[in-house]
Amino acid sequence: MNKAPVVISGELYATEINYDPAVPSNWPSVPDTVQEALDDIAAAGTLVQTSYTVRVRFTYASSFPITTQAITSGETMIYAKFLITTPFSSGCTLAFGTATTSALIFGPEISPQTATTYVNDDLYEFASSDNLIISASVAGATQGAATLIYTLK
- The architecture of the domain spanning 52-152 is Sandwich (2.60)
pTM metric for this prediction: 0.67
Residues in CB range of 53: below 8 A, 6 or more apart:
149, 150, 151
Strand spans (E) along the chain? 6-9, 12-14, 52-59, 66-71, 76-86, 93-98, 117-120, 124-125, 130-137, 145-152
Write b or e for each residue in 66-89: b if 16 or more Cβ atoms lie within 10 A of its Cβ, otherwise e: eebeebeeebebbbbbbbbeebbe
Quote the CA–CA distance of 98 and 147 in Å, as a whole number.
17
Cβ of 99: how many Cβ atoms within 10 Å? 13
**pLDDT, tens digit (0-9, with 9 covering 90-100), for 54-103:** 999 999 999 999 999 999 999 999 999 999 999 999 999 999 999 999 99
Supply φ then ψ for residue 39, to 5 degrees.
-65, -40
Average pLDDT over residues 29-40: 71
Q: How confident is the model at residue 39 (pLDDT cuts 50, 70, 90)?
A: confident
- Burial tier of 102 (Cβ tally within 10 Å: 0-12, 13-18, 19+): middle
Q: How confident is the model at residue 108 (pLDDT cuts 50, 70, 90)?
A: confident
Q: Give residue 27's pLDDT.
A: 67
